[in-house]
Homo-oligomer: A and B are copies of this chain.
Amino acid sequence: MGMNNVNASKATISRMPAYLRFLREEFSKGMKYISSAYVATEMDVSAILVRKDFALVSSVSGKPRLGFEITRLIQDIERFLGYDSVRNAVIVGAGGLGKAFLGYEGFKKYGMNVLAAFDVSKEVIGEEFFDKKVYDVKEMEAFIRENDVSIGIITVPKKFAQSICDELVRCGIKGVWNFAPIQLDVPYGVALKTEDLASSLAILSAKIMENSLEQ
């Protein structure tokens, strides 16, 4: 199930979804083969890096003069990313962000199936958003165990984030995707990925500053 080559670097892994999107689009335009140089110019990476990345995930090599067979690449990347075996996920915190994620169809394309949301507020418990229901957090453990849920998405206010995280871990979750602006502790063996908007914004601001200095 899922990713084959665990030896791929973090950097390589993080580029894969973008390659996949690009390749799917080119394929839908009727392209059959694609060169690393073409991918490189369109995607702002070097051609050598593209070849290295493709070599890492693909079982077949590209053909000199022709390039890489797009359908094959798509298959290989999909399998590499584990999109062939969708993971179940739940959202904890049905606030603005939680609701937005409930309605985001795209996750399915990324190998993740969001089943439901959980919250403590009576105002949202029982409501449905985009055909997905919000349950009482008390029902979370049963739900997770019954539905083979492996990912917990945390979209609660930061002061509740650690305790919700602990609860998810206790329920046997395999990975926590944290959107609260706080550093969480998870035990060894549980995967954690925190989205830090402040960090991204800092990078953007730095780029803006850099540009303004150049002019």
Question: Is A142 engaged at the interface, CB distance under 8 Å to the other chain?
Answer: no
For A109, the chain B residues whose CB sits under 8 A away are 198
Tell me if A55 counts as interface (CB < 8 A to partner B). no
Which one of B22, B82, B183 lies within 8 Å of A22 (CB-CB)?
B183
Interface residues of A: mostly helix, strand, loop or mixed?
Answer: helix
Q: Are the CB atoms of A210 and B17 closer together than 8 Å? A: no
Asked if A95 is an interface residue, CB under 8 A from chain B, the answer is: yes
Q: Is A61 in contact with chain B by the CB < 8 A criterion?
A: no
Report chain B residues within 8 Å CB of A32: none
Q: Is A13 close to B, CB under 8 A?
A: yes
For A174-215 the 0/1 string (1 means CB < 8 A from B) is: 110100011100000111110111111111111111111111
Chain B residue nearest in CB terms to A129: B96
Q: Is A123 an interface residue (CB 8 A)?
A: no
Interface: A106 (CB within 8 A): yes
In chain B, what residue has the closest Cβ to A44?
Answer: B183
A81 touches B202 (CB 8 A): yes
A209 touches B2 (CB 8 A): yes
- Asked if A49 CB lies within 8 Å of chain B CBs, one says no
Interface residue A149 (Cβ < 8 Å from any Cβ of B): no
User: CB-CB contacts of A6-50 with B at 8 A, as 1s and 0s?
Assistant: 101010011111100110000000000000000000111000000
Contact of A203 among B10, B103, B209 (CB under 8 A): B10
Q: Are A198 and B17 neighbours in the complex by a CB distance under 8 Å?
A: yes
What is the minimal beta-carbon distance from A117 to any residue of chain B, in angstroms?
13
List residues of A whose CB falls within 8 A of some B CB.
2-3, 6, 8, 10, 13-18, 21-22, 42-44, 81-82, 87, 95-97, 99-101, 103-104, 106-107, 109-112, 150-151, 174-175, 177, 181-183, 189-193, 195-215
Given contacts A3-B206, A10-B206, A21-B182, 13 further A-B contacts (CB under 8 A): A6-B213, A14-B200, A14-B202, A17-B198, A17-B199, A22-B183, A81-B205, A106-B197, A107-B197, A177-B201, A189-B211, A193-B203, A195-B195
